[in-house]
Amino acid sequence: MPGAPYRTHLDDLDWQRTGAVTVVIAWHDSVPVGSGLIHWPGPRDPSVAKLLPMCPEIFRLEIVESHRSTGVGTALIRELDTLVRARRLPRVGLGVGIANQRARVLYERLGYRPVDGAEYIDRSEIPDSDGQRYTVEEPCIFMVRDVGPERGEQTLLSQPPAGGCAHALPELWLR
């Protein structure tokens, strides 16, 4: 499997400054409980980008442990899907670790399907407790979902209070 380029959170900030990514944060009261990013130019892995050019990629979807299995991940993915639909793009994708069956079940429930030939190694640099950087590698599969308007689908971009986006739970807001 080919490997994705090394990435750091600094890369994410640079991409955000240029408009290449959008960050969505889920809040419970005034506490962030989850986040996700979308990379607009397409898959970050070069081999996947060749297969699926111009398919925005959801990545770094993270939920605080105490808020997992409460609908936060679903709300974040739906909001990111809505942003793609607002740009009138036909599909969105995401990578999932082959060993991460829990996440893959969620993505499949939300309509994501694996793409044949889109296996790759995701690489990230992470500092240890001494500040030394080390590389984490994870075998992944890329999945896609068509996001064209669906009959009866409601968007999360309604009129939320204080600039957030409403989720099914009244105390959870996305910004």
Q: Per-residue confidence of the chain (175 residues) as pLDDT tens digits?
A: 444 454 566 777 777 788 889 999 999 888 999 999 999 999 999 999 999 999 999 998 999 999 988 999 999 999 999 999 999 999 999 999 999 999 999 999 999 999 999 999 988 777 788 888 888 899 999 999 998 765 444 443 333 333 333 333 333 445 4
Phi, psi dihedrals of residue 74, rounded to the nearest 5°: -60, -45
The residues that bridge with 39 in the sheet, in sequence order, are 21, 57
Distance, in Å, from the CA atom of 123 to the CA atom of 136, rounded to the nearest integer, reads 6
pTM check: above 0.85? no
CATH number at 9-174: 3.40.630.30
Domain ranges of the chain: 9-174
Nearest to 134 by CA among 6, 9, 22: 6
